[in-house]
Structure 1
Amino acid sequence: MKEATALKPIRKITWKASVSLRRISASSVFLYAACLVVIFMTACAIAPQWIAPYSPEVMDPNQLLQPPGAVHLLGTDYFGRDVFSLVVYGARDSLLIGVASVLVGGGLGGVIGALSGYIGGWVDVIVMRLIEILMSIPGILLALAIAAAVGPSLFNIVLAVSAGVIPNYARVMRSQVLTVKNKPYVLASRSIGSSELSIFLKHVLPNSLSPFLVMATVGIGSSILTSSGLSFLGLGVIKEIPDWGTVLSQGRGYLTVAWWICTFPGAAIALFVLSVNVIGDRVRDTLDPRKSGD
């Protein structure tokens, strides 16, 4: 009997997780978006050699600016490189920057916002004033300034994009913590002598994560857009294998004679960002307690 009683909370959490997963996957649009994300992250980012027909570093002078066809599915660029292979291999750095920026910026912003909201007082006032100063600077402008100052590299681009999103995550997390820390179950836990650290880790933080996770999901797409914009302006990662934004930048001078160089990398960015946003919207609708019947 004691074992059955002890397993009840675990079974309840497992049941709720399975119900949420069924709700999320019930939409056919979500399934299509999830399939696109999986294709980008596995076939393109993890194992591009499985799908790319050519090496992105191979230049063929006899195949300069060839339009899309049977030999080159998405055409070739001004070096004779296969555009389809460039798009496939370029996904790696683009997705890495997007995910890493959310982990770094979202993690720092979430910690700052959570501690600021829970501690309150003069700490909250000082932290929020600093966050408001950062929020007065557009994220893309802040990322542009940092990237121009520290120089183009993968680490620096992640740093630049992360800095631009920290205020948004901090504000969202602080707002949730301020709401949760005054809930009856938190006050009851404090009244029976639980430590503030225990209350924060066991009650406040877990119940404040839903909007944060949704924002992080959507933030991957936004970070990729920002990093692509930096690459388009010449402040991206300088490598032999360019990312999506760099391919766009390199092909803009040939837009009137070779539209495919810019079109297909741009379409890849649009499809991935749209797919991530669809997934984020679905997760938000599922985790929203106002729309839950349980």
Structure 2
Amino acid sequence: MREAITAKAVWRERGRRQLASLRFRRIAAADALLVLAGAVVLLIIACAIVPGWIAPYAPTEMLTDNILKPPSTDHLFGTDYFGRDIFSVVVHGSRDSLFIGFASVLIGGLAGGIIGAVSGYVGGIADTILMRCNDILMTIPGILLALAIAGALGPGMFNIVLAVAVASIPGYARVMRAQIISIKSRTFIAASSSMGASPMHIFWRHVLPNALSPLLVMATIGIGTSILTGSGLSFLGLGLLREVPDWGTLLSQGRGYLTVAWWMCTFPGLAITLFVLAVNIIGDRLRDDMDPKKRRVRG
């Protein structure tokens, strides 16, 4: 009998160790993926901040003897039909692409957060009016709304940032409103009100700080979406008109050379894909870390 109990204990302990080992490997793999994603984001941000330190050539330097050359040791990403080094152009073009992504998220998140906060906390007729206007915007797909705004305003940095930002406002407003309504009905808010705290004090001290986490996660993931939208507008000819093209414009310039110079489209597309994928990985991890239920499961 004792031998049977001892065997069960051994098997139970062995199962616990295997489960712990499996959980550790999963966390280690997730952490390694997170580190890799962070390295990709930091590298591309460094390209945007100090492109001259990374790019081997000037983005406007035309090497007439090396037109449409495939990738090599001299030109990592090959050259285009002007003889420009594509790697250098991709590095320098990251500045405009990242600026569009970050600036549109900042403007759209701030505007959507204010609308959602006012709608959720004030309620009543203000909530009805703001949410019905928000519903109207949500009936239009974001890319179509951005296209309409960019087409009406014309090319330009400010116009494309505004177009992408306005298209993202409805999502931020909805998330913020839902969080405000959920937190406003909790017990500690009622307790604070019963102790004589003013509505504005309750909002700034208790409601808003607890409602920001989902908005921050959404903004992190939204950076990738904004870059995709901005690149799409540039691809369609509604983006920036500059000597140094952004990633979307590079894709548009290379689409006519797919059969003879595949690298002109491939590497700008890979830059967009890698950055968006890395930002989404970071956003997913940030969401998991801010979710108490998932923290308990992982622990």
TM-score exceeds 0.5: yes
Aligned to 1:59: 62
CA distance, structure 2, for counterparts of residue 72 and residue 24 of structure 1: 36
Aligned to 1:30: 34
User: Deviation digits for residues 207-228 of structure 1, max 9, x if unmatched?
Assistant: 0111111000000000000000
- Cα deviation for residue 292 of structure 1 reads 3.0
Contact 1:221–1:276 (CA<8 Å) still a contact in 2? yes
Percent sequence identity is 62
The two structures, once aligned, show a CA RMSD in angstroms of 1.4
Question: Secondary structure in 1 aligned to 2:49?
Answer: coil
How high is the TM-score relative to the length of structure 2? Answer: 0.89
Matched, 1:251 2:249: no
CA distance, structure 2, for counterparts of residue 25 and residue 70 of structure 1: 33
Contact 1:24–1:30 (CA<8 Å) still a contact in 2? no
Contact 1:24–1:283 (CA<8 Å) still a contact in 2? no
Matched, 1:270 2:266: no
CA distance, structure 2, for counterparts of residue 202 and residue 182 of structure 1: 15
| Residue among 146, 149, 153 paired with 1:150 | 153
Q: Which amino acid aligns with 1:32?
A: L
User: Deviation digits for residues 37-62 of structure 1, max 9, x if unmatched?
Assistant: 001101x1000011100001011211
User: Which runs of 5 or more residues in structure 1 are unaligned?
Assistant: 1-22
Q: Which amino acid aligns with 2:231?
A: S
Which 10-residue stretch deviates more, 284-293 or 53-62? 284-293
Aligned to 1:71: 74
CA distance, structure 2, for counterparts of residue 37 and residue 233 of structure 1: 26
CA distance, structure 1, for counterparts of residue 294 and residue 132 of structure 2: 34
- Cα deviation for residue 25 of structure 1 reads 11
Aligned to 1:181: 184
Question: Secondary structure in 1 aligned to 2:180?
Answer: helix
Q: Which amino acid aligns with 1:35?
A: A
CA distance, structure 2, for counterparts of residue 68 and residue 107 of structure 1: 42
CA distance, structure 2, for counterparts of residue 279 and residue 264 of structure 1: 23
Change (3 A) 1:206 1:25: farther
CA distance, structure 1, for counterparts of residue 204 and residue 69 of structure 2: 58
CA distance, structure 2, for counterparts of residue 61 and residue 55 of structure 1: 14
Alignment map for 1:57-206 (pairs within 5 Å): 57-206=60-209
Residue correspondences, number: 271
CA distance, structure 1, for counterparts of residue 295 and residue 289 of structure 2: 7
CA distance, structure 1, for counterparts of residue 184 and residue 162 of structure 2: 32
- Cα deviation for residue 289 of structure 1 reads 1.8
Could you say which structure has the larger radius of gyration?
A: 2
